[in-house]
Amino acid sequence: MMTVGILGGGQLARMLAIAGAPLGLRFRVLDVAPDACAAQFAPLIVADYHDTVALERFAAEVDVVTFDFENVPADSAQWLSERLPVYPNPHALAVAQDRLEEKNLFLELGMATPEFRAVDSLEDLQRACTEIGFPCILKTRRLGYDGKGQYRLHGTADIADAWAALGRVPLILEAFVAFDRELSVVAVRGQDGEFRAYPLTQNWHTDGVLSLSLAPAPQSEEVAALAFECAQLLADRLEYVGVFALELFERDGQLLANEMAPRVHNSGHWTIEGADCSQFSNHLRAVVGLPLGSTSARGVSAMLNWVGELPERAPVLKQARGYFHDYGKSPRAGRKVGHATLTAAYADVLAENLAELAAAIDRQAQIAPALAALGLANTAATEPRPGS
């Protein structure tokens, strides 16, 4: 009986514990928050991630360590890795924590990226803006997520404000990419180096937070092979073990690598019901050394994030293949509190189900991009189907 330790006790840890139960795994979660939602299903140690007394106790209770979020202090990951197996390894975690290191690695591996420059001074910023041009985005190199730690610049007049807002930490300036769409590869690499990728996922964000995913991404066959190759190059170079996501922009049929998330990823939540083996099960299989599971999709899936508060559950559950996920968190503006996945054997059935759901829960704006991508006119979302 193996016990898996998870640093971070949010919804990802919660879904890992749920996925790991059938495999006979047990869990310990370490989080700073006593109400961490994973604690409803796994024993919780409440402590700061730097607290070596707590880490000592945690390490004594578990056989292997993994992460629910990427901003675990690198030295804590290192400290743990000197005592027991830690997956992904602290080096991979450190690279993925730093937007500059990450993008430099992308380039080194031959992957295209949006133009970027390191920014450590106001002068760096001014020079970088001249070289990259506007619009562009200034980001903290570390500790950013869900659009936090970012400032968009439209012209030289914004430089002073951007510097004032973010200038106290190491930064990166990135070109603003007028992309055609956002894609992600969710993939897994085992301890033996075996690599498997889920079908490409198309994503839409609202206010910097993932709102909607569609998988397999429509019309993505041509770019999929390149995306999987990039993901595998990256995973092999980092000697990565577990699930990760590579976020990509597609523009004129070209792919630009945006960032890597060294963990199970929101854009892979559809795999719980929409793939043979979920990203959560596959992450655990990799981490404990079991055979990787099939990453094949079962039909087509759409995932809707619930941000701030949950809608009614019934309209989702009434769909033949509608699945509701409540993370057991209290509502709060901007907080991810749950998601729903709809799956169907065919894209047109999925589009019809989504249109019905959009009307029933009044989420037309959130769902409309999926209908457009699936080829159903947006208007269908605003009118209930005859007989429904």
Residue with tokens 């829960």: 361
Q: Minimum Å distance from CB 18 to its own copies?
A: 5
Q: Minimum Å distance from CB 89 to its own copies?
A: 23
Ramachandran quadrant class, 130 (left: phi over 0; alpha: psi -120 to 50; beta: rest): alpha
Find, among 61, 22, 1, the residue nearest to 278 by Cα. Answer: 22
* Identity of the residue, 40 or 104, whose beta carbon is nearer to its own copies in the bound complex: 40
* Identity of the residue, 139 or 339, whose beta carbon is nearer to its own copies in the bound complex: 339
Q: Minimum Å distance from CB 110 to its own copies?
A: 32
Q: Minimum Å distance from CB 272 to its own copies?
A: 8
Structure tokens at 138: 């200034």
Q: How far is CA 369 from the centre of its chain?
A: 19
List contacts with its own copies (CB under 8 A).
Answer: 1, 14, 17-18, 21-24, 26, 40-42, 276, 285, 290-291, 293-294, 296, 298, 310, 313-314, 317-318, 320-321, 323-328, 338
* Identity of the residue, 88 or 293, whose beta carbon is nearer to its own copies in the bound complex: 293
Q: Minimum Å distance from CB 322 to its own copies?
A: 8
CB atoms within 10 A of CB 172: 23
> CA-CA distance, 166 to 119, in Å (whole number)?
11
User: Which positions ≥6 away from 31 have C-beta within 8 Å?
Assistant: 7, 8, 9, 10, 13, 38, 39, 44, 45, 46
Q: Minimum Å distance from CB 273 to its own copies?
A: 9
* Identity of the residue, 139 or 285, whose beta carbon is nearer to its own copies in the bound complex: 285
* Identity of the residue, 166 or 272, whose beta carbon is nearer to its own copies in the bound complex: 272
> CA-CA distance, 328 to 64, in Å (whole number)?
26
Q: Mark 265-301 as b/e (b = at least 16 C-beta within 10 Å).
A: bbbbbbbbbbbebbbbbbbbbbbbebebbebebebbb
- In the chain, what's the furthest Cα-to-Cα distance? 64
* Identity of the residue, 142 or 329, whose beta carbon is nearer to its own copies in the bound complex: 329
Q: Are 180 and 252 in contact (CB under 8 A)?
A: yes
Structure tokens at 139: 């980001």
* Identity of the residue, 144 or 274, whose beta carbon is nearer to its own copies in the bound complex: 274
3-state secondary structure of 362: coil
225's enclosing H/E stretch is helix 221-237
3-state secondary structure of 354: helix
Q: Minimum Å distance from CB 194 to its own copies?
A: 11
> CA-CA distance, 278 to 293, in Å (whole number)?
8
Q: Are 357 and 322 in contact (CB under 8 A)?
A: yes
Q: Minimum Å distance from CB 213 to its own copies?
A: 17
Q: Minimum Å distance from CB 158 to its own copies?
A: 43
* Identity of the residue, 21 or 32, whose beta carbon is nearer to its own copies in the bound complex: 21
* Identity of the residue, 23 or 160, whose beta carbon is nearer to its own copies in the bound complex: 23
* Identity of the residue, 72 or 340, whose beta carbon is nearer to its own copies in the bound complex: 340
Q: Minimum Å distance from CB 109 to its own copies?
A: 30
Q: What backbone phi and psi angles, to 5 degrees, belong to 228?
A: -65, -35
Structure tokens at 345: 């054997």
3-state secondary structure of 242: strand
